[in-house]
Structure 1
Amino acid sequence: MDVPTRWMSATDLVDGYSSGMLSPVTATTDTLQAIETEDAAINAFCLVDADSALRDAADSAGRYAQGRPLGPLDGVPVSIKDLLLTAGWPTLRGSELLDPDDQEWTVDAPAVARLREAGAVLVGKVTTPEFGWKGVTDSLRYGVTRNPWNTERTAGGSSGGGAAAVAAGLSTLTVGTDGGGSIRIPASFCGIVGFKPTYGRVPLYPASPFGTLAHAGPMCRTVADCAAMLDVLSGFDHRDWSAMPTPTHSVADDLATAPADLRDVRIAYSRDLGYGANDPVVQQNTDAAVEVLRGLGAEVDEVNPGWEDPAWAYHILWFSGAQMVLSAFGEEAIGKVDPGLAQALSRHREFSAADYLDATALRMALGVEMGELHRRYDVLVTPTLPGVAFEAGSDVPAHSESQDWTSWTPYSYPFNLTGQPALTIPSGLSAGDDEDAGLPTGLQIVAARHRDDVVLRVAAAYESAVSLPSLRGSR
């Protein structure tokens, strides 16, 4: 049976466009029809612009007819997280504090600009919690975004709308942001690939209130698509003072010529970074994934960094930024936002300059430790999350002892502190016959700063050796 275009990878779509076997107009139409019929149950999109998408698709078809596509994503349906400025569409960041009529919305964020330049078809904007503040996706403005594997469960966050859209075949690719796990958390919960590149690899504008914790990156169904999308997103943008130079070579090309085995790769495996605790199904699937890597020839050592949970330092840096966001809207804003955000800010507000410097010092120390680890190992692998997706509409799992989202995401935010590239790839599904059965789990792969290529190589080798769970395959 032929695969519907909505389920094809970006690389397969582009191959089909180039050969004349497929059309960007057909692929975009199929995507828009799927959104119309299926998104009501998921609530991944907060804006869909069918007319604009079809115009872009027609333009792309014309370029292919002339043999002049703009790049590796020309004609591919893409969605944009509603934290990123997108010319012609309001960016409301999941908040009632913003009015779509307050401005003309004429600016593209760097990632959006690079996608347009590459000919991608922008179909719409996808949901985020208010200002991207937490690890699930619901907001007073847009409601609850649900997991397409089980709509009673959360899609994760804060890039939950994008993860749900890609997993459900409503968007081939999406661009997300990640200030503490916001790409990797929802990608893991929704069973897709999500990549937080090295800090500065993908420029951001305006500057994030969360400072150098914040990254932008690709969310896809395959590793090859992540590499192709990263090539596009990595273009230098002068509006980001910390942006890296445009790379001089393609990670997608590197990936295509990389060895299929991992015999020259050294892997450090940490079950819990020294302070986490995993559900049995997560531990089982992670152990199995590590055995696959070992079977591909990698040298794998189990390590225990012996860290104490760095959440205290992360909270100071993160919630200082959140306080700054709300301060721009005046003193009454706190009564108009997500009650969970208001409560979190009441818990995390008494920070001094000395506290901020202490948090920054810990951040630097973690960076030194990881730099030392990567002198011995090419990558560190961990579970992405300690559990599977929990009830939609809840900020934390049932019976949680803490209301902080960091309490159930212990393996993601440390690598925002260090600025390292980190990718999640599905490690399997939960088994059994209980209510948690059939939900995705994820494996996290982390490399030294600026070694995004190594992360992608290990992920691609793993992907080639296993059959990744697919929502399409479960239907």
Structure 2
Amino acid sequence: MTLDLCYLSASEALRRFRDRTVSPVEVIEAQLQRIDQTSDTVNATSFVYAREALDAAREAERRYGMTDGRLRPLEGIATAIKDESNIAGKITTYGSLIYRNNVAQTTSTVVQRLLDAGAIVHSRTTTPEFSCEGVTHSRLWGVTRNPWNLDYTPGGSSGGSGAALAAGLTTLANGSDIGGSIRIPASACGVVGFKPPYGRNPASAPFNLDPYNHPGPMARSVEDCLLMQNVMCGPDPLDIASLRPKLAMAPDRGGIKGWKIAYSLDLGYFEIDEEVRRNTLAALDVFRSLGATVEEVDLGWTKESERAAMSHLRTIFGSWLAEYLDDARGDLLTGYARHFAEGARDNTCQEFLKSMYTGGAMYASLGPMLERHNIFICPTLAVPAVAADHDPSKDKVTINGKDVHPSVGWPMTYPFNMLSRCPVLSVPSGRASNGVPTGIQIVGRTFSDETVFTAGLAYEDALGGWYGTARDRPVVASTASVANQVQA
């Protein structure tokens, strides 16, 4: 029963809290125990706020006992916050030795909205240094591992959030996505992640002005992801890019009968692992069984998309990171972070401009195609996952006997950061023979968030969900000791 509480969905937990058959205290206690048990194996959390989380859970329990109806949307729901999102008075490290003692002075808008909605922040999740890679390990926090197979990465940069959800350490978790950092771990860990359209969820300067950047929700179900997204989204007076009005979505289970769905297995230029291909085709068969017409399309995209994305990422993100390449801080950086920062120094304004032309050409094919189809589907990752300690500054990634780019040659996510106004929902598509999950991306027309959630709900309902029974959950060896740092 304790493990069942760890995997209780937010939607079901809210129902159970209201009818008093489960207490928020019981869920928080179970998940804190689960964090302790997996700290030396999965290593998904950087800080745990046990005492204050239990105090907040008791307050939530008291609220559920009242009859005035003043319950908030996420009342009593355990939520893990990525260790890059500021919480005033709490250490936020960004996965870096440089910030190991950095106490945040403010709270990120999306985090404040979760808190105001009644979410209980009981832990912080690990991230690669400065969230700059698709794997999660750092000199500060060590290696975070995939709960389904500890030899593999949970993805990144929101890898701690993905691992925490898969391992039952939390009910909800937040992430951020500048090249796939929500969808990569969602796929590798077998959970759900949403990259909202640019501006839907507010962010902080300067990255609120980078159209590649998208804060968003992660959960174990589509409905939970939608519930969390409804809280996080909306205009923010501190973010000029944030959209008006606030979009409030209701779960639409009307189905997708008669829909037209386009798909591509490789986006025209990716090498694809055979098990990813197999699981993607099986997922497409589910959509067919729901009454949709499914057809393969050729977008005409080429490897130039990869070069364009790297140019954009180096120009803004890399140039920001290069500010740390001074004598006092450069030697503290993790190898891949230093490599990325140094690479940014060679990027030119002309290359950045060329990347914008490339993005425009990509949408010139995707946009008209989406006018003829309701959604577009492709794999989330070209392989189930890479090694847990993969270092793209020195390690190779090989697919079908061919070496691919060690950072962006295996995540099929960044094209939709380039086409940033398209909502993208990543959902599980199965598991590979090594036990690691695979995923698909459901891509919608610009700002058509409801469409991807409708498709995701129909697909999820057809499969019966993903974590309902013990056989649907990873088996993670427990550890007796607690390696996590606990902050009061």
Could you say what secondary structure the match of 2:408 adopts?
Answer: helix
In the TM superposition, residue 378 of structure 1 has moved relative to its aligned partner by: 1.2
In the TM superposition, residue 34 of structure 1 has moved relative to its aligned partner by: 1.1
| 1:230 maps onto 2:229 in alignment | yes
Q: 1:381 aligns with which of 377, 381, 394?
A: 377
- Could you tell me which residue of structure 1 aligns to residue 156 of structure 2? 157
Q: Following the alignment from structure 2 to structure 1, what is the Cα–Cα distance between the partners of residues 131 and 278?
A: 31
> Superposition pairs for residues 320-335 of structure 1, below 5 Å?
320-329=315-324, 331-332=326-327, 333-335=329-331
In the TM superposition, residue 343 of structure 1 has moved relative to its aligned partner by: 2.4
| 1:460 maps onto 2:457 in alignment | yes
Q: Following the alignment from structure 1 to structure 2, what is the Cα–Cα distance between the partners of residues 385 and 341?
A: 22
Q: Following the alignment from structure 2 to structure 1, what is the Cα–Cα distance between the partners of residues 343 and 322?
A: 17
| 1:314 maps onto 2:315 in alignment | no
The range that moved more, 261-270 or 44-53, is 261-270
For 1:56, give the aligned amino acid.
Answer: A
8 Å contact kept, 2:429–2:437? yes
In the TM superposition, residue 365 of structure 1 has moved relative to its aligned partner by: 2.8
8 Å contact kept, 1:134–1:395? no
- Could you tell me which residue of structure 2 aligns to residue 75 of structure 1? 76
**Residue 69 to residue 265, structure 1, CA distance change in 2 (3 Å):** farther
- Could you tell me which residue of structure 2 aligns to residue 49 of structure 1? 49
Q: Following the alignment from structure 2 to structure 1, what is the Cα–Cα distance between the partners of residues 325 and 390?
A: 28
| 1:147 maps onto 2:142 in alignment | no
- Could you tell me which residue of structure 2 aligns to residue 93 of structure 1? 94
In the TM superposition, residue 234 of structure 1 has moved relative to its aligned partner by: 0.8
| 1:359 maps onto 2:373 in alignment | no
Q: Following the alignment from structure 2 to structure 1, what is the Cα–Cα distance between the partners of residues 28 and 100?
A: 29
- Could you tell me which residue of structure 1 aligns to residue 280 of structure 2? 286
In the TM superposition, residue 369 of structure 1 has moved relative to its aligned partner by: 2.8
In the TM superposition, residue 313 of structure 1 has moved relative to its aligned partner by: 1.1
Q: TM-score, normalised by structure 2?
A: 0.90
Query: RCO (CA 8 Å, sep 6+): is it higher in 1 or 2?
Result: 2
In the TM superposition, residue 345 of structure 1 has moved relative to its aligned partner by: 3.7
> Superposition pairs for residues 99-138 of structure 1, below 5 Å?
99-101=100-102, 104-138=103-137
**Residue 107 to residue 47, structure 1, CA distance change in 2 (3 Å):** same
Could you say what secondary structure the match of 1:154 adopts?
Answer: coil
Q: 2:427 aligns with which of 422, 425, 430?
A: 425
Q: Following the alignment from structure 2 to structure 1, what is the Cα–Cα distance between the partners of residues 442 and 285?
A: 14
Q: Following the alignment from structure 1 to structure 2, what is the Cα–Cα distance between the partners of residues 324 and 52?
A: 38
For 1:211, give the aligned amino acid.
Answer: D
In the TM superposition, residue 312 of structure 1 has moved relative to its aligned partner by: 1.0
Q: Following the alignment from structure 2 to structure 1, what is the Cα–Cα distance between the partners of residues 404 and 276?
A: 21
Could you say what secondary structure the match of 1:146 adopts?
Answer: coil
- Could you tell me which residue of structure 1 aligns to residue 185 of structure 2? 186
Q: Following the alignment from structure 2 to structure 1, what is the Cα–Cα distance between the partners of residues 70 and 175?
A: 25
Could you say what secondary structure the match of 1:41 adopts?
Answer: coil
- Could you tell me which residue of structure 2 aligns to residue 439 of structure 1? 436
The range that moved more, 34-43 or 7-16, is 34-43
The range that moved more, 284-293 or 458-467, is 458-467
In the TM superposition, residue 206 of structure 1 has moved relative to its aligned partner by: 3.8
8 Å contact kept, 2:202–2:208? no
Q: 1:371 aligns with which of 367, 370, 390?
A: 367
In the TM superposition, residue 59 of structure 1 has moved relative to its aligned partner by: 1.9
- Could you tell me which residue of structure 1 aligns to residue 66 of structure 2? 66
- Could you tell me which residue of structure 2 aligns to residue 171 of structure 1? 170
- Could you tell me which residue of structure 1 aligns to residue 390 of structure 2? 394
In the TM superposition, residue 66 of structure 1 has moved relative to its aligned partner by: 1.5
Unaligned runs of 5+ in 1: none
- Could you tell me which residue of structure 2 aligns to residue 262 of structure 1? 256
1:57-99 deviations in Å (ceiling 9; x for gaps): 1221222111434433111000011111112211110111224
Could you say what secondary structure the match of 2:387 adopts?
Answer: coil
Q: Following the alignment from structure 2 to structure 1, what is the Cα–Cα distance between the partners of residues 208 and 459?
A: 35
- Could you tell me which residue of structure 2 aligns to residue 38 of structure 1? 38
For 1:9, give the aligned amino acid.
Answer: S
In the TM superposition, residue 392 of structure 1 has moved relative to its aligned partner by: 1.1
Q: Following the alignment from structure 1 to structure 2, what is the Cα–Cα distance between the partners of residues 138 and 210?
A: 27
Determine what percentage of the aligned residue pairs are the same residue. Answer: 35
In the TM superposition, residue 178 of structure 1 has moved relative to its aligned partner by: 0.5
Q: Following the alignment from structure 1 to structure 2, what is the Cα–Cα distance between the partners of residues 16 and 468?
A: 18
Q: Following the alignment from structure 2 to structure 1, what is the Cα–Cα distance between the partners of residues 9 and 256?
A: 24
In the TM superposition, residue 301 of structure 1 has moved relative to its aligned partner by: 1.2
8 Å contact kept, 1:35–1:170? yes
1:176-207 deviations in Å (ceiling 9; x for gaps): 00001111111111111111111111111243
Q: Aligned pair count?
A: 462
In the TM superposition, residue 265 of structure 1 has moved relative to its aligned partner by: 1.6
Unaligned runs of 5+ in 2: 476-488
8 Å contact kept, 2:155–2:385? yes
8 Å contact kept, 1:235–1:247? yes
The range that moved more, 89-98 or 217-226, is 89-98
> Superposition pairs for residues 332-343 of structure 1, below 5 Å?
332=327, 333-343=329-339
Q: 1:407 aligns with which of 382, 406, 409?
A: 409
